[in-house]
Each structure stands twice: as structure tokens, then as C-alpha cells.
């Protein structure tokens, strides 16, 4: 009868996530010293004590480690290891990697730094093989030379493993042909072997005498990173993520949610959109707010919105200038935290300006609806009240967050943000949701007004409303675009936070993968779909590009630049240089040039019509109708 290799009962005690620091071997749940043909009996009377030989056991050459270190250099004789008839080297090796991973994430440095730990482990997994030839049948049997009890006791002390987890005096009791047979896992001196009765004995292997061929010990399996900590709570607060309490292995940065090349592509997406949005919104702010000769009430609101978008984009550009991956992963195995200035500054700006964006979007929704609803009546300029209230509402939450060291990077974030979900909920998503709802209501009212305009009879009031409606078409388009982006950001973030259990539940499978894979870099935790995650990044950084498509590529923008003094001077210089026009410019006086420039400015400015102009015209028309 055969005795199979596998995991002793102390490794099958319970099944837990590897991130919780339990014995990973428990995830296999098999016993290496027991075949399906044998029945385990813990309470029977033992008739004999010997190791029953497996007729089909064999001596084999060790197949070698996978990419991660296991038993290469720690075996007594790698050219002859014992494998029973119901196990394979691959199965035993996979189990060994789980045990090795459990050792790696234990907090005891003396355990993982000692080669004796791995000599003992490998002598148990792949014991040296010897052979015995029956003098009567002439049949040759392979049998294992088991590690000594003293080595087991020494290892459990070094690794601080209690006897409830590993009992070095434990014995296996089985029934062989109706006889109760017992043998120790770790003999004190020698072990008796036999077929149906004790026939011969052989000494145990003192694993400390094994000459290790390994000069270095792999202390953490990739992508975990070795990091010795004296204060785990503090280290966690500055960005280290430990897979188990008091472990000296930490999760690498970026986190294994996506492949490294996918992370790089996500960072590039954020970088490109941030820089592009910065440049384009800066152009619009200069156009509508600085050189615009006829700044309307709507222009002020729009410039405030565009300035907020510019600062929001600048928060991403700040990461780009410093190196996004370098900012988010300042050290191997450490994610950015409140001690990293660029990260904190970027998150602070992003937080405040995002609240400004949604507030100004809501204000614009109200103003466009109210202007069309109150067409013909002169509107008050409420900009200063809007400005003061939005600044107060937008910057109080970020000040509270930064005061409580909330801004960090994180395993699932392509930028710096608040690390506590309650802070996110109450200092960002709650006010954003309120303004989204408010702006959405004004959008619905605006659509209602549009319907009334289209369905009403033709009269002077309808004409003025239609004219105003045409002028407000682009702002209305921008409102819908901004609303769709903000709504997606809100829904996506809430969905991800409500489904975190899916990702944390994948930790055990991830532990199995990195322990047993030929290429651990291919092992990933479950994560949100990369397409949805990429669109989340896109939605945060694309505001400025949308704004430019709506306002930058317009005839009004061209007319504003046409009316600009510098633009006119450059145009005349180009004309002079190319000889396109033949004028008497050379003989003109400086006063003539000034007069021409002034006239051009006046004509261009008069050609720029704004909603405020419509307000005035409509009021006159309505008064005359009355």
C-alpha cells in the first residue's frame, strides 16, 4: 500500500485570503502522505509503527523552480527526490510555492532570512530518495528520508509558529491490510520502513547539514516588494500597503490591477488630455476674458467656468511636469501620500476647481434658462454674488481635507485624491450631486422653454426669443456635454465603491497565481474594466477640449481676435513683408496708423453681438408692442 505526499493536517486547518496572513497551504487542502485507498483513523489502536512502502513510488530528478525561488539549492540531492505514486512534482511544487509565499509575508525576519527554513521546507516537500530491494521478491522500492524532529522544532521556534499550527510530534495513522499503522512526520532519530511489517530502518535527514547553493534568499515574490518596517501603522499612513499584518512585503506601485504597459497608457492619456485642455482653455480665457472688447454678462460667467476648467486641467499638468508615475509612485512599493507635496497640491487644486466647475455649470444653466424665460426684460448682473458664493463653497471642503491629510495616491487611482470614502462622499460627491440636480432641473426648464418657443404663434416676442435661442445654442450644447460627463463621473465612482468586494475577493486567486505562475507579472487582481476606467480618466481631463470645440472654433472668437490691436499690427506687418497689399502705409503718419487701428477695433467690436444686446433690443420691442 502507498503513502501519498501532500500537505499535513496543520496546513489544512482553515482557508483564508493570502492577504490576511493565513497559511496559504490551506488553500490546497490535501494530505501528501495519504492515498485515496487509505483510511485515516485518529482514534484507533495502533498495532505497528513503520512507514509503509509505496510499490509504485519512484526516485526522480527535481524538475526545478519556476521563475520564483523555491527549492533550487536547498535540496540534499536534487538528482534523487522521492515522489509517490499518486502525486506529481508539479502538484507538490505548486503547494510549496503557497507555503513559501505564506513564509514571505510573515513578519518574522529571522524566519525568512534563514536558509535553514527553506532547507527544512524543501526536505519535507522533496525528501531525498533511497531504495530498498526485497531479498525475497528482489523487487526494489523507493522510500523517503524524512527531515528530523529537531529541525522541525528549530524551524517553528525561528518562525514563531505555535504547536497548534505545526505539531512536530504529530503522527499519521492509517490502515494497511486491516492493520493499524502509524509513523511520525518528523522522526527523532530514524524511521522504520516495510511492506506489511517493519523490515528495515534508516536515519532521518538533519537539514542543517545541507550545503545551500543559494547565496541570496528571495524574500518577497514579485510583484510584492521587500520592505522592513518598525511601525506598520505609520508606514501605511505614508503609502505602503501590506498584504498582511506586520509583513515585510508590500504591494508594488502601480498596483497589479492592470499590466504595466496598460498603466503607462492610462498615465499618457491623462497627461496628453491635461496639457491639451490647459492650453486650449488658456486660449479661451484670454480670448473671452482679456482681449474681448465687449464683455457681456454671459461672458463673465463663461470665463469663470473656463478659468475653473483651466485650473482643473492644471492639476493634471502638474503631475505631468513632475512625471505622473514618479509622482504617484515616489518609491518602490510606496504610493504617494500626504507627505508628497506635488501629489497633495494636485489633489487640492483638482478638488476645489472641480467643485467650481460644477457650480459655474449650474449657474450657466440657470442664467440661460432665466434669460430666455424673462426675454425682453433687462437682467441684473449677479456675477459678483456668484463669484463670492462659489469660492466659499468650493474651497472649504478642500481646506478640511488637506487639514486632515486626506490627499494621497492609491492602488486604483491614476491621480491623487482623497483616500477616505466618507470624505469623498460628503466633501465632494454630495455638493457635486446637489449642483448636478440643480443644473439638471434648469436644463429641463430650458427644454420646456424651447418647446414653447417652437410651438407658439409667430409674433415679435417669439422672434426675439428665437434670435436669443440661436445665440445660446452653443452654451446649451456645452451644458448638455458637461452634464453627461459629470453624471458619468458620479455614477462610475459610486458603482466602483459599491462593488469593492469583487476586487477584494480576488486576492486568494491572485496569491495562488503569483506563487505558481511561470510569469508572476501576468497575475492581476480583479479590477474595473480598463475601457470604463480609461473613460473615467478621459472624462476628468476632457472639459477644456470640449470647451474649445464649442467656443474656440467660432466666428465670434475670430472677430474678437480680429479686433485685437496686436493682431492687427501683426497682420499689417505680414502684409508689408509679403507685399500682398500696396498701400501708402509707408507714407502714413503714426496718427493715421492709430486711427486705422482704432476704426478697425470699433468695427470689429460692433460686429460682436452678445445676449445682453438682445436683452436691450427685446425690451424696446416689447415696450413698443405694449
Considering the entire predicted model, what is its pTM? 0.73
As to burial, measured by CB atoms within 10 angstroms (0-12 exposed, 13-18 middle, 19+ buried), residue 170 is middle
Q: How many angstroms separate the CA atoms of 285 and 382, rounded? A: 20
- Residue for grid cell 502538484: 91
* Grid cell of 67 as nine digits: 521563475
On whether both 186 and 298 belong to a single domain, the answer is: no
Q: How many angstroms separate the CA atoms of 288 and 561, rounded? A: 10
Number of domains in the chain: 2
Instruction: For residue 504, tell me if it sits in a domain.
Output: yes
On whether both 299 and 200 belong to a single domain, the answer is: no
The rounded mean pLDDT for the chain is 81
Instruction: For residue 225, tell me if it sits in a domain.
Output: no
Q: How many Cα atoms within 13 Å fall on the side-chain side of residue 90?
A: 2
Tens digits of residue pLDDT in 6-64: 332 222 222 333 333 334 333 333 344 443 334 344 444 556 788 989 999 999 999 99
On whether both 281 and 363 belong to a single domain, the answer is: yes
* Grid cell of 258 as nine digits: 492592470
Does 614 have pLDDT greater than 70? no
* Per-residue H/E/C for 12-57: CCCCCCHHHCCCHHHHCCCCCCCCCCCCECCCCCCCEECEECCCCC
CB 187 within 8 A of CB 177: no
Tens digits of residue pLDDT in 172-198: 887 877 788 888 989 998 999 988 888
If one compares 30 and 257, the residue with the highest pLDDT of the two is 257
Instruction: For residue 247, tell me if it sits in a domain.
Output: no
Tens digits of residue pLDDT in 487-531: 888 888 888 888 878 877 887 788 878 877 878 888 999 899 999
CB 622 within 8 A of CB 457: no
pLDDT of residue 464: 61
Q: How many angstroms separate the CA atoms of 592 and 30, rounded? A: 98
pLDDT of residue 26: 39
Listed residue (175, 532, 540, 202) closest to 358, CA to CA = 540
- Which of 172, 194, 209 is where one domain is finished? 209
On whether both 181 and 110 belong to a single domain, the answer is: yes
Q: How many angstroms separate the CA atoms of 472 and 460, rounded? A: 18
Identify the bridge partners of residue 183 per DSSP, sorted by sequence position. 172
- Residue for grid cell 455638493: 431
Q: How many angstroms separate the CA atoms of 155 and 149, rounded? A: 10
- Which of 553, 578, 600 is where one domain is finished? 553
b/e burial code for range 59-96 (CB count within 10 A of at least 16 → b): bbebbebbebbbbebbbbbbebbbbbebbebebbbbbb
Element (H, E) at 130: strand 128-133
The vertex-44 CA angle with 39 and 46, nearest 5°, equals 100
- Residue for grid cell 503557497: 98
Strand bridging mode 179-184 / 171-176: antiparallel
pLDDT of residue 616: 42
Instruction: For residue 63, tell me if it sits in a domain.
Output: yes
On whether both 196 and 291 belong to a single domain, the answer is: no
Range of lowest pLDDT (158-167, 300-309, 338-347, 606-615): 606-615
Confidence of residue 277 (pLDDT cuts 50, 70, 90): very high
Within 204-340, where are the H helices?
232-237, 260-285, 297-322, 324-328
If one compares 315 and 243, the residue with the highest pLDDT of the two is 315
b/e burial code for range 326-349 (CB count within 10 A of at least 16 → b): ebbbbeebbbbbbebebbbbbbbb
Q: How many angstroms separate the CA atoms of 85 and 38, rounded? A: 13
With a CB cutoff of 8 Å and minimum separation 6, the contacts of 201 are 190, 191, 192, 193
Identify the bridge partners of residue 40 per DSSP, sorted by sequence position. 174
If one compares 431 and 110, the residue with the highest pLDDT of the two is 431
Listed residue (344, 338, 339, 336) closest to 318, CA to CA = 344
Question: In the chain, pLDDT over 70 holds for what percent of residues?
Answer: 79
Q: How many angstroms separate the CA atoms of 537 and 416, rounded? A: 12
The vertex-331 CA angle with 512 and 337, nearest 5°, equals 95
Sign of the dihedral defined by the CA atoms of residues 417, 419, 425, 431, in that order: negative
On whether both 430 and 335 belong to a single domain, the answer is: yes
CB 50 within 8 A of CB 42: no
What 3-state DSSP class applies to 239? coil
Sign of the dihedral defined by the CA atoms of residues 315, 320, 323, 328, in that order: positive
Instruction: For residue 560, tell me if it sits in a domain.
Output: no
Strand bridging mode 179-184 / 48-49: parallel
With a CB cutoff of 8 Å and minimum separation 6, the contacts of 425 are none
What 3-state DSSP class applies to 78? coil
Instruction: For residue 475, tell me if it sits in a domain.
Output: yes
pLDDT of residue 617: 41
Q: How many angstroms separate the CA atoms of 204 and 185, rounded? A: 11
On whether both 196 and 273 belong to a single domain, the answer is: no
Sign of the dihedral defined by the CA atoms of residues 53, 57, 58, 60, in that order: negative
On whether both 320 and 438 belong to a single domain, the answer is: yes
On whether both 494 and 413 belong to a single domain, the answer is: yes
Q: How many angstroms separate the CA atoms of 551 and 606, rounded? A: 19
CB atoms closer than 10 angstroms to residue 429: 18
Identify the bridge partners of residue 417 per DSSP, sorted by sequence position. 408
CB 353 within 8 A of CB 394: yes
- Ramachandran area for residue 549 (φ above 0: left; ψ -120 to 50: alpha; else beta): alpha
CB 107 within 8 A of CB 247: yes
If one compares 463 and 162, the residue with the highest pLDDT of the two is 162
If one compares 61 and 97, the residue with the highest pLDDT of the two is 61
Question: In the chain, pLDDT over 90 holds for what percent of residues?
Answer: 42
As to burial, measured by CB atoms within 10 angstroms (0-12 exposed, 13-18 middle, 19+ buried), residue 259 is middle
On whether both 164 and 277 belong to a single domain, the answer is: no
Instruction: For residue 220, tell me if it sits in a domain.
Output: no
> How many Å is the Cα radius of gyration of the chain?
38
With a CB cutoff of 8 Å and minimum separation 6, the contacts of 419 are 406, 407, 408, 410
Does 392 have pLDDT greater than 70? yes
* Grid cell of 81 as nine digits: 527526490
* Per-residue H/E/C for 508-521: HHHHHHHHHCCCHH
Q: Which domain holds residue 91?
A: 9-209
Q: In CATH, what number is assigned to the domain containing residue 347?
A: 1.20.1070.10
Instruction: For residue 125, tell me if it sits in a domain.
Output: yes
Does 581 have pLDDT greater than 50? no
pLDDT of residue 594: 47
* Grid cell of 215 as nine digits: 547565496
pLDDT of residue 40: 40
Does 253 have pLDDT greater than 80? yes
Identify the bridge partners of residue 352 per DSSP, sorted by sequence position. none
pLDDT of residue 584: 43
- Which of 502, 535, 553 is where one domain is finished? 553
User: What proportions of the chain, in percent to the nearest 5, are helix, strand and coil?
Assistant: 55, 10, 35
* Grid cell of 273 as nine digits: 488630455
On whether both 192 and 282 belong to a single domain, the answer is: no
On whether both 264 and 205 belong to a single domain, the answer is: no
What does the CA dihedral 455, 461, 463, 466 come to, rounded to 10 degrees?
A: -60
If one compares 31 and 565, the residue with the highest pLDDT of the two is 565
Amino acid at each position: 500500500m502507498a503513502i501519498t505526499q501532500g500537505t499535513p493536517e496543520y496546513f489544512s486547518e482553515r482557508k483564508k485570503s493570502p492577504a490576511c496572513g493565513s497559511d496559504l497551504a490551506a488553500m490546497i487542502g490535501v494530505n501528501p502522505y495519504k492515498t485515496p485507498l487509505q483510511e485515516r483513523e485518529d482514534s484507533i489502536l495502533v498495532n505497528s509503527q513503520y512507514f509503509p512502502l509505496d510499490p509504485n513510488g519512484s526516485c526522480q530528478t527535481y524538475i526545478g523552480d519556476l521563475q520564483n525561488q523555491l527549492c533550487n539549492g536547498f535540496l540534499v540531492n536534487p538528482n534523487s527526490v522521492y515522489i509517490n505514486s499518486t502525486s506529481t512534482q508539479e502538484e507538490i511544487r505548486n503547494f510549496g510555492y503557497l507555503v513559501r509565499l505564506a513564509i514571505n509575508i510573515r513578519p518574522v525576519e529571522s524566519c525568512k532570512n534563514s536558509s535553514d527554513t527553506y532547507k527544512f521546507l524543501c526536505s519535507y516537500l522533496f525528501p531525498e530518495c533511497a531504495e530498498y530491494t526485497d531479498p525475497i521478491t528482489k523487487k526494489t522500492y523507493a522510500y523517503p528520508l524524512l527531515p528530523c524532529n529537531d529541525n522541525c522544532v528549530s524551524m517553528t521556534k525561528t518562525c514563531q509558529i505555535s504547536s497548534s499550527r505545526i505539531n512536530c510530534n504529530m503522527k499519521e495513522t492509517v490502515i494497511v491490510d486491516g492493520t493499524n499503522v502509524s509513523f511520525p512526520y518528523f522522526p527523532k532519530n530514524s524511521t522504520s520502513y516495510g511492506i506489511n511489517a517493519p523490515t528495515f530502518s534508516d536515519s532521518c535527514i538533519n537539514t542543517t547539514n545541507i550545503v545551500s547553493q543559494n547565496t541570496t534568499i528571495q524574500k518577497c515574490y514579485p510583484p510584492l516588494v521587500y520592505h522592513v518596517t518598525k511601525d506598520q501603522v505609520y508606514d501605511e499612513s505614508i503609502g505602503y500597503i501590506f498584504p498582511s499584518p506586520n509583513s515585510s512585503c508590500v504591494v508594488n506601485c502601480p498596483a497589479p490591477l492592470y499590466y504595466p504597459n496598460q498603466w503607462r497608457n492610462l498615465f499618457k492619456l491623462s497627461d496628453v488630455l491635461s496639457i491639451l485642455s490647459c492650453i486650449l482653455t488658456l486660449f479661451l480665457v484670454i480670448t473671452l476674458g482679456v482681449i474681448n472688447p465687449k464683455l457681456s454678462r454671459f461672458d463673465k460667467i463663461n470665463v469663470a467656468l473656463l478659468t475653473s476648467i483651466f485650473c482643473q486641467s492644471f492639476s493634471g499638468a502638474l503631475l505631468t511636469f513632475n512625471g505622473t508615475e514618479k509622482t504617484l509612485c515616489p518609491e518602490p512599493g510606496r504610493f504617494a501620500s500626504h507627505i508628497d507635496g506635488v501629489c497633495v497640491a494636485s489633489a487640492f487644486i483638482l478638488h476645489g476647481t472641480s467643485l467650481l466647475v460644477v457650480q459655474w455649470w449650474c449657474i450657466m444653466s440657470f442664467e440661460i434658462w432665466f434669460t430666455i424665460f424673462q426675454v425682453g426684460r433687462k437682467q441684473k448682473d449677479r456675477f459678483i454674488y456668484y463669484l463670492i458664493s462659489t469660492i466659499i463653497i468650493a474651497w472649504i471642503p478642500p481646506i478640511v481635507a488637506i487639514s486632515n491629510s486626506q490627499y494621497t495616491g492609491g492602488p486604483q487611482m491614476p491621480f491623487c485624491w482623497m483616500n477616505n470614502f466618507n470624505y469623498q462622499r460628503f466633501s465632494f460627491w454630495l455638493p457635486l450631486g446637489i449642483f448636478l440636480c440643480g443644473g439638471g432641473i434648469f436644463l429641463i426648464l430650458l427644454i420646456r422653454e424651447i418647446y414653447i418657443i417652437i410651438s407658439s404663434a409667430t409674433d415679435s416676442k417669439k422672434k426675439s426669443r428665437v434670435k436669443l435661442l440661436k445665440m445660446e445654442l452653443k452654451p446649451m450644447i456645452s451644458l448638455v456635454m458637461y452634464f453627461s460627463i459629470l453624471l458619468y463621473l458620479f455614477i462610475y465612482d459610486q458603482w466602483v465603491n459599491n462593488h469593492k468586494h469583487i476586487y477584494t475577493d480576488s486576492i486568494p486567486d491572485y496569491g495562488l497565481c503569483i506563487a505558481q505562475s511561470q510569469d508572476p507579472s501576468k497575475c492581476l487582481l480583479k479590477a474595473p474594466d480598463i475601457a470604463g476606467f480609461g473613460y473615467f480618466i478621459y472624462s476628468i481631463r476632457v472639459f477644456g477640449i470640449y470647451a474649445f470645440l464649442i467656443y474656440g472654433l467660432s466666428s465670434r472668437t475670430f472677430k474678437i481676435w480680429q479686433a485685437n490691436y496686436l493682431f492687427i499690427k501683426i497682420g499689417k506687418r505680414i502684409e508689408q513683408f509679403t507685399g500682398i497689399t500696396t498701400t501708402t502705409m509707408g507714407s502714413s503718419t503714426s496718427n493715421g496708423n492709430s486711427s486705422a487701428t482704432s476704426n478697425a477695433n470699433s468695427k470689429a467690436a460692433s460686429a460682436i453681438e452678445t445676449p445682453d444686446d438682445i436683452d436691450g433690443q427685446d425690451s424696446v420691442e416689447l415696450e413698443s408692442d405694449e
